Amino acid sequence: MSDYSDGASIAAFAFLTVFGLVIALAFYVISSWFLMKIFDKAGVQGRWRAWVPIYNYMVFSKLGDLNPWLVLIAIGASLVLGWIPVLGQLIGVAAFVVTLLAAWRVGLKLQKEAVWLILYFFLSLVWLGINAFDRSRWNTAVPAAPWAGNGFLSDRTNWAGIPSQVPAGGYPANPATSPAGYAPPAGYVPPAAPTAPPAYAPPSAAPTAPPAATQPPVTPPSAAPEPQAPPAPPASTEPPAAPEAPKP
């Protein structure tokens, strides 16, 4: 009876181990595929970078303005010191916090608000899938990270094939993240300043008289003919009569 129970326990343990490995492999393949799509948006050269374990999250941290060596240090410390109670768990939490901060910065460059970190905290695979296949475009013109001036946390590495996170042409330069002496890329022409509208002139107080309308020339009417006097009667040739004598 004991041999049967021992065999069943071993079989159950082997099944759970294989099932766990299959789940881990599936998570690795899907997450690497999503990272490859995000790297394409960021302009990373070489899709193989998304398929190398640990290194892919180092690139992810670099895109998130964090020192990529922090990921390697945190994962290495968790592998070496993970057997120590409490300390091993704290190192694992620190490694997750590094990727969480990188996800916050990567999300900002893909037009995602900080509230999206809640989704990454609980379902990082879903967060990666949304950012991999939505229509967001990579934009480095975001506010500087709070750790931009910290030499240990900020990214100061220069890796070939991974574009610098200094704002690219077409976006305003960010003084907090731009190194000294940074010049815009060749061919970039800053937009012209908008011209001021012409000054408005108020109308004068006294209104001007409208121009007189042109009138057609008026022809005066012809004068009526004046009436003529009747002709005088002809003069009589008879002598005038003598006056009558006065009566007594």
Amino acid at 3: D
Evaluate if pTM is beyond 0.85. Answer: no
pLDDT, mean of residues 61-81:
90
The CA angle 179-181-182, to the nearest 5 degrees, is 65
Chain-centre distance of CA 131, in angstroms? 17
Distances from the Cα of 27 to the Cα of 23, 35, 100, 152, 248, angstroms = 6, 12, 18, 31, 174
User: Which pLDDT band holds residue 3 (cuts at 50, 70, 90)?
Assistant: low
Predicted pLDDT at 179? 45
Q: What is the pLDDT of residues 184-219, one digit of tens each?
A: 445 545 556 556 555 555 555 555 555 555 555 556
Predicted pLDDT at 52? 96
Predicted pLDDT at 218? 58
Q: Would you call 7 helix, strand, or coil by DSSP? A: helix
Predicted pLDDT at 189? 56
Residue 26 tokens read as 């599936």
Name the one residue in this structure whose structure tokens are 């960021």.
42
Predicted pLDDT at 165? 87
pLDDT, mean of residues 102-125:
95
| Cβ atoms within 10 Å, residue 4 | 8
The DSSP-derived string for 146-204 is: TTTT-TTTB-----TTS---SPPTTS---TTTSPTT--PPTT--PPPPPPPPPPPPPPP
Predicted pLDDT at 248? 45
Chain-centre distance of CA 180, in angstroms? 26
Predicted pLDDT at 182? 44
